[in-house]
Structure 1
Amino acid sequence: MASEKLVNLQEEVTCPICLELLTEPLTLDCGHSFCQICLTANSKESVAGQEEERKCPVCRISYESGKLRPNWHLANIVQRVREVKLSLEDQEKHLCVHHGEKLLLFCEEDGKVICWLCERSQKHRGHSTFLIEEVAQDYQKKLQAALERLKQEQQEAEALESDFREQIAAWKSQTQYERQNVEAEFKKLRAILDSEERKELQKLKAEQTAILCTMANSENELIQQSQFVRSLISDIEHRLQGSTVQMLQDVNDILKRSKTLTLEKPKSVPKEQRSVFRAPDLRDILRVFNELRHVQRYWVHMTLSHTTGNRNIAISADRRQVTYVFKGQGQNPCWKEVYEDYGVLGSPVITSGRHYWEVDVSKKRAWILGVYGEKHAQFNTKLPLKADGNHQNVYPRYQPKNGYWVIGLNHDSVYNAFDESSSSDPMILTLSLSVPPRHIGIFLDYSAGTLLFLNVTNHGFLIYKFSSCSFSKKTFPYFNPLTCKVPMSLCPPSS
């Protein structure tokens, strides 16, 4: 009833021109009222700038524009109509859409605001219901906690986005640097290496495209996550700023979404170790160098772990360098007649796959490198040693049947490989190297049963290859500095 009266009253205070409630009403002598701005605009259109009498837009009775005065009484009535209209609209928001009753109760199971008739209906019968005032503060706290968590998640999402953009920039910088390096090196050998240069650049471009594509997809996922978080935050903020009914309506759903939200970190891009390109002098050298770069993809982080307990061996704090340090044999009067093994085993243990590592032997006069297999003879610590200190008499242990696949340097310039032999002594092969190695690369392919020793100093030329090896279930990298006091060190990747 009150609504019908309001509609009738609203029609009486509606401008016939704009059909909205009157604004700054002006009443003509004929009794019709209009918004000041509507009447002024209508008069200008009808007269078109001429000084003539104006006519009422409703009844067409003439009026003088100079005698128009604001109708303040009517303006006050319009203002009261506006207030009543807003009040009724606000009350309708708090009425049940099914029964027209006031929304005074909150159903905890359904997370909805209901009226007393809804509480007695089949839909809500047996549910836990509370007065809105009883639960409003508790749910406000829950929403506030959810909002704080989401804001924290948003900060983490933005941090992830920032870090990922830095990764993208780093990858771009790295690939750009390598591109320039490749172009500069190939320019020196353009006549021979034009085709090789194109292959290298195409591979680099493909790698860059693939990586950046992956990163771009991951970045889009992060952006979508961030947008979802912002959407939830906006929804909760809107609820907290609105009325209690608006805050509680379907509150369980948004709380559930906020609780179950979990940021997914982007897939990390594998940072495969890549060697810096150095231009060789000849086509054959380039072929060898490419083979070296291929095996360097399997570079593993190696450390020194197991020792024989020899007091004359010192291992650095980072476990990447071993040095012979003579400290004598204490009370052992026969130490000159005994050869102490200065070997050190590396970690990780090799049980499968392909593995590559490099050892710095610069300035060393003697050393032995390779791998040792656990299933073979025990890791001997002592063998007879001649008084002259020559290492030749310790070589019988270094052969594959005893679990050793090694090469060595003796007397500063004699390089040997110790291969299988039918006798108790190994087959000692003297190796001819045009360039003395300062860095030696070791590549083990467990399933293929091969072990390569590469002269990294000479672009990766092969020093020696063991084939058809029966590696043990646990195979260890082996390092022996012998009695040369210059340290031998594990090289970091791409050194």
Structure 2
Amino acid sequence: MASATFIKKLREEATCSICLELMTEPVSINCGHSYCHQCMVAFTGNRSSDTSSPGIFRCPQCRKPFQSGSLRPNKQLRGMIETFKEMNENMCTEHGDQLHLFCEDDGQLLCWCCERSPQHKGHVTASVQDAWPGYWVKLLKAISKLKSTKAEYLQLKLDTTRKIRSWEKKIKREEERIHSEFTNLHTFLHQEEEFYMHRLEKEKEQKLSRLQDNIAYMDNKIEELNNGILELDKKCQCSARNLLQGIKDTLSRVSAINLEIPEDVSLELHTVCNVSEIHLSVRKILKRHQVNVSPDPDTSNQKLLIRLNEEKTTIYPRNLVESQTSKRWNDIICMLGHERFTSGRHYFEVEMGAGAEGAVGVCLENVPRDIDIARKPQSGFWAIRQRKSKGCSALTSPPTFIPLRNQPEVIGIFLDCDAGIISFYNATLGSHIYTFPKASFSHALRPYFEAYPYFSLLWTS
């Protein structure tokens, strides 16, 4: 059995006198001394050779000359060093005996002398062969736990990535909605649009930043778990003694690793652009161009009944046959207003009764009235229609559905004859409903109303 003195002497023989560590890839020079290969490469590279004999250097120990090209691998010494390392790993550095025992209390490998020392007196010990299977099973369980925790982090990362995509889509939809609202409200809401877009962008970046921080946090945790798994995998492949070396600390560190879910980031949108909050300003500007409108009974379809009072005109569908004139509509249950618009800006409002169905807008004065013509811009009509079963739609070709949360009680119609713009607003909320594409008008425009049987509409004058 090797003594501690012998082990010490053997280590000294295998130690490189340059780096003072066990030699790595030992090489010998002419004088017989050996060093690490890298140490000699650095030695010859950092020192100047003899000026009288280029390429000649002197041994660091005996100062005998040698050439840099004369380095020879010392395989015998290399094998001895490997044997020494293997032997040293299984030997007690204090007593020089084999490490046959494992101390359960201290988690250390012991020799027979160590077991009898006061330091380990009364401790529970077992042979290496008896102790290592149980700890091997514990390591496998620890690996399983780390892998399970890693899988949970990967799923959390995937969920967070999906949240980011969902958040970006939600932000994009909200940006489009806000942009559309403010574009159609034109220049008088430009500053408000900039304000809300800035707030929305700031909220977007704040939450995205938090989500990205969560991703980075989980990446770090996953990397930590990967390192732990590799470490434990490597330890499981070691010899019994190496597996037990430091096992207590290893398992203690592993047991301390638990899933720590980062703080959840809510995708609730706090920046809400409610145009109705500023509807008073919108209506104030629109009402600068408000005109009074009144129905023209001479253009009314024979199935419409008109009742006049001081505040508003009520128009009802009815089953009554009246005399037919060239001004009346024959096949469409509708009528026109008295007013003719040829230039400038004009705004008027139509109040819809509860549950009313109908269409309101403007049309060219010269559209045919003796046939059931399609109501669309190409035929000279710019109107929106409201039906209980189908909701609100713009009379384009084909009709354009307009998603509205609530049925407008008062519809405002804004007409800019010179710019060719016709827009519709929810006059109660001050919110934009629809704007037709720009057009040019060949004839005068007149207010247009179309009703359906058994429902009423109130035309504010």
Taking structure 2 as the reference length, what is the TM-score of the superposition?
0.48
So what's the TM-score if we normalise by structure 1?
Answer: 0.46
